[in-house]
Amino acid sequence: MTESTTGISQLNRFRIAMVLAILADALQIIVFPLFVAGAESPPDDALDIGVGVVLFSLLGWHWEFMPSFAAKLVPGVDLIPLWTLAVANVYRKAKRIAANGEEGRDGPLQ
């Protein structure tokens, strides 16, 4: 995705994605266990699907999102901030690509 298609720079996309991932993980760790337990929680599942769609639209397809999404189906794994870790790993890889002077499919960080 280019900056001209949405008007948001790649760095700002990562910032928005990180805030969203932190908020989603905080909700799943702090709020949702108080009301509904287990992998069969509809609000938890809806949150994961929504976060996955938004992260995909912000950052594009990355393999790091698949384990985060799949692991959320295992009870107890929601206590690990997987969305935050996935976004941080995507950012780390993009930063390394930008530092090497290579342009990935999404372009360097700006």
- Residue 3 has what pLDDT? 47
- Enter the tokens of residue 1: 């995705």
Q: Contact, 81 vs 25, CB < 8 A?
A: yes
Which residue type does 79 have? Answer: L
pLDDT digits (tens, 9 = 90+) for 22-73: 999 888 888 776 655 555 677 777 888 899 899 999 988 888 888 877 776 7
Q: pLDDT-based confidence at 8, cuts 50/70/90?
A: confident
Looking at this protein, which amino acid is placed at residue 70? A
Per-residue b or e along 24-62, where b marks 16 or more CB atoms closer than 10 Å to that residue's CB: bbeebeeeeeeeeeeeebeebeebbeebbeebeebbeeb
Reading the block at residue 30, the tokens are 């702090």
